[in-house]
């Protein structure tokens, strides 16, 4: 079966899942954190090389303060509770986004686990935190502009590969599969540049209920799709035959 090398997930529907059960929204995030644990474990077992999770967007700061604080606490708990699981399973933890905006009680265990797991090679788990795809591109443009101004880079040599080197996802395999839970069919400022050729999957399951069996269904569907990368179906077949 063809496996995606890199899976991105927009973990949507926590609030609706909780509210439809008469529970506070934060309960949805809490059960959603259990889904994060299960999907991380399953991805590692299946052999996915990179898993990138949209855990907190640049725009999520505008949510009610109690929800933002609750989400930050769940992140801290995840980083502390999963530390040994991540290290024992040779997973490298990464983070993308405006990390400096996160409170120290999150950045401290985050930096510690990033450093402790830096040499792990079995899977990269990237948490997108205070992340926005447009913000990420704007940051890359700022850094690239600085290098042009400093004479380190000639503007006329900039191509797709040059630009890619300025993105925080540089070095990860291309995103092959993007999953969004909850039935909404939007990208919501997630990996905009990186999903150029990703297969998109919108699943009608809320994130707190999304577990490894749903991931397996997505992987089966992925394996059945034909990825053409701008070529024709016939060209792909002749490539395989030649």
DSSP secondary structure letter of residue 150: T
The residues that touch ligand FPP, with contacts defined as CB under 6 A, are: 11-16, 29, 32-33, 36, 53, 55, 60, 71, 74-75, 78, 127, 207
In 3D space, the residue among 165, 119, 104 whose CA is nearest the CA of residue 140 turns out to be 165
* Active-site position among 12, 14, 176, 189: 12
- To ligand FPP, the closest distance from the beta carbon of 201 in angstroms equals 17
Q: Is 189 a catalytic residue?
A: no
- To ligand FPP, the closest distance from the beta carbon of 14 in angstroms equals 4
Cα–Cα distances (Å) from 113 to 10, 95, 97, 199, in that order, read 23, 10, 17, 31
Query: With 0-12 CB in 10 A as exposed, 13-18 as middle and 19+ as buried, what is 133?
Result: buried
Nearer to ligand FPP, 16 or 212 (CB): 16
Residue 83, CB-side half-sphere exposure with 13 Å CA sphere:
14
- To ligand FPP, the closest distance from the beta carbon of 41 in angstroms equals 13
Nearer to ligand FPP, 72 or 148 (CB): 72
- To ligand FPP, the closest distance from the beta carbon of 46 in angstroms equals 19
Q: In angstroms, rounded to a whole number, what is the distance separating the alpha carbons of residues 36 and 24? A: 19
| Residue nearest ligand FPP (C-beta atom) | 15
Nearer to ligand FPP, 186 or 225 (CB): 186
Phi, psi dihedral angles at 135 (to 5 degrees): -60, -40
In 3D space, the residue among 132, 111, 137 whose CA is nearest the CA of residue 55 turns out to be 132
Nearer to ligand FPP, 131 or 166 (CB): 131
Q: In angstroms, rounded to a whole number, what is the distance separating the alpha carbons of residues 147 and 150? A: 5
Q: Are 113 and 125 contacting, i.e. CB atoms less than 8 angstroms apart? A: no
Q: Is 119 a catalytic residue?
A: no
- To ligand FPP, the closest distance from the beta carbon of 205 in angstroms equals 12
* Active-site position among 14, 34, 38, 60: 60
> Could you tell me which residues are beta bridge partners of residue 125?
51, 93
Nearer to ligand FPP, 129 or 219 (CB): 129
Give the catalytic positions in this structure.
Answer: 12, 60
């Amino acid at each position: 079966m063809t496996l995606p090398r890199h899976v991105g997930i927009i973990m949507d529907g926590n609030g609706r899942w909780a509210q439809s059960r008469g529970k506070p929204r934060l309960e949805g995030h809490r059960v959603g954190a259990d889904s994060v644990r299960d999907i991380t474990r399953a991805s590692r077992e299946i052999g996915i090389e990179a898993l990138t999770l949209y855990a907190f967007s640049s725009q999520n700061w505008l949510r009610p303060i109690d929800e933002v604080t609750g989400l930050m606490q769940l992140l801290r708990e995840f980083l502390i509770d999963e530390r040994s699981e991540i290290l024992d399973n040779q997973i490298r933890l990464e983070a993308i986004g405006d990390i400096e905006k996160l409170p120290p009680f999150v950045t401290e265990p985050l930096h510690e686990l990033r450093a402790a797991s830096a040499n792990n090679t079995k899977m990269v788990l990237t948490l997108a935190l205070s992340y926005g795809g447009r913000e990420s591109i704007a940051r890359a443009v700022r850094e690239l502009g600085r290098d042009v101004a400093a004479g380190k880079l000639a503007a006329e040599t900039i191509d797709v590969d040059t630009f890619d080197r300025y993105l925080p996802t540089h070095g990860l395999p291309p995103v092959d599969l993007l999953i969004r839970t909850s039935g909404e069919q939007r990208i919501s400022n997630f990996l905009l540049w990186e999903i150029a050729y990703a297969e998109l999957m919108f699943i009608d399951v809320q994130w707190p209920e999304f577990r490894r069996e749903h991931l397996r269904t997505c992987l089966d569907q992925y394996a059945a799709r034909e990825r053409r990368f701008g070529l024709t179906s016939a060209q792909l077949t002749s490539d395989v035959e030649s």
